[in-house]
Structures are given as structure tokens and as C-alpha cells.
């Protein structure tokens, strides 16, 4: 396979952060992978998402299944904590989370600044992803790790305070005024 060549030419994401430009675009990464991976690995890679399927369909790759299971449980714990904070019933299924993870989720829910909470949650995800990092730097699994890390870094870079405030005002104005009016301060 050409995966060795592919992995060798990928730029490092180690110094990438919320504020630095990423050394590769997601489109370019997938373009390289499409031409250098076998069908099974390509199908698994192209199906990777930050929002896993609720049915827990097995991917055929242990790494992806572990990520999907953890992310699903993390999202369920987050939804339950948000419902609890709003004093609303949570009718979703209970996820399997450690006490530490539940504490982490509650801490995020209690944050006053939604942007900081999202940044915090993304760092938690990146920390978990790091625990899954494969020892073999030239494996298909490393490409799955790389893809998820790239997706998480891109996601956090898309957050913009002014755009978020504008969206909030438009949605809130629409709800309060029965139309698409923006709420002014």
C-alpha cells in the first residue's frame, strides 16, 4: 500500500492549536488518502465523524469503534448534565462514563461563557483522542487518529464570538418577535 508514503508526507499537527493556521486542509488530506488507501480503509476513513451513529454500528476497526463509543457516551453525559442544569427530564439512554468524565462534563455545563465551554470540551476530546494514539506511526489507524484530530482542530477554529452573537440575536429575535427580527442591545 501507499499508506507509508502518504503518512510520511503529512504535516505534523502537534503544534496546531485554536489560533494557528493548520498545515493542511481537510480537503487536501482526504484527496491524498483517496488515492493512497485501499477500499476498506478509505471507506472507514471517509465515514469518520465527530458525531457518531447512535446505533453503534461496528466499523471493522477497533480504533474507530472505541472513539465512537466514547464520543457517544460523552455526548449522552453532556446532554444529561445540560438537562439537569435546566431542571428538565433527560429521556435519553444513559451512557457509560467514568466519575471523572461526569465531573468534567458538569464543569463544562457550569461555565458562563459558551465559547469557553466548547473550547474546554474540545480539549477534553483531544485529550481522549491522544489516549488512542497508535504506537505504529505508519498504520491505517494513524490516519484515523490524524483525521479525527484534524476535524477537532478545524471545529474549534470555526468558533467566532461575533458570528455566534449575531446568530443568537437572530434566533432570539425570531422567537421573541415571531419573525426574523434581530434583537438589538
pTM of the model: 0.82
Q: Residue 97's pLDDT is what?
A: 72
On whether residue 136 sits in a domain, the answer given is yes
Where is average pLDDT lowest: 2-6, 89-93, 119-123, 151-155? 89-93
On whether residue 179 sits in a domain, the answer given is no
On whether residue 36 sits in a domain, the answer given is yes
Number of domains observed in the structure of the chain? 1
b/e per residue 31-41 (b: at least 16 CB within 10 A) = ebbeebbeeeb
State the average pLDDT for the chain: 86
pLDDT in tens, 62-97: 999 999 999 998 998 998 888 888 888 887 776 677
50-71: average pLDDT: 90
On whether residue 170 sits in a domain, the answer given is no
On whether residue 117 sits in a domain, the answer given is yes
Calculate what percentage of the chain has a pLDDT beyond 70: 86
Q: Residue 181's pLDDT is what?
A: 52
Torsion angle of the four alpha carbons 176, 179, 184, 185, in this order, in degrees rounded to the nearest 10: 10
Range of the domain at 78: 22-160
Which letter does DSSP use for residue 94 in this model? P
pLDDT in tens, 93-142: 766 777 788 889 999 999 999 889 999 999 999 999 999 999 999 999 99
On whether residue 184 sits in a domain, the answer given is no
What the block records as the C-alpha cell of 184 is: 438589538
8-27: average pLDDT: 87
Amino acid at each position: 500500500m501507499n499508506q507509508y508514503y502518504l503518512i510520511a508526507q503529512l504535516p505534523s499537527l502537534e503544534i496546531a492549536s485554536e489560533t494557528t493556521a493548520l498545515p493542511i486542509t481537510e480537503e487536501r488530506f482526504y484527496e491524498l488518502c483517496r488515492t493512497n488507501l485501499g477500499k476498506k480503509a478509505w471507506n472507514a476513513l471517509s465515514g469518520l465523524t465527530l458525531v457518531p451513529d447512535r446505533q453503534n454500528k461496528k466499523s471493522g476497526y477497533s480504533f474507530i469503534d472505541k472513539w465512537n463509543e466514547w464520543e457517544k457516551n460523552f455526548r449522552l453525559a453532556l446532554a444529561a448534565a445540560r438537562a439537569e442544569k435546566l431542571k428538565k427530564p433527560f429521556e435519553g439512554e444513559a451512557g457509560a462514563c467514568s466519575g471523572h468524565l461526569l465531573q468534567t462534563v458538569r464543569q463544562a455545563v457550569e461555565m458562563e461563557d459558551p465559547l469557553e465551554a466548547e473550547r474546554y470540551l474540545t480539549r477534553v476530546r483531544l485529550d481522549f483522542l491522544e489516549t488512542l494514539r497508535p504506537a505504529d506511526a505508519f498504520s491505517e489507524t494513524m490516519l484515523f487518529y490524524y483525521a479525527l484530530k484534524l476535524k477537532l482542530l478545524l471545529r474549534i477554529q470555526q468558533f467566532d464570538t461575533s458570528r455566534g452573537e449575531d446568530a443568537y440575536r437572530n434566533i432570539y429575535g425570531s422567537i421573541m418577535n415571531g419573525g426574523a427580527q434581530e434583537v438589538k442591545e
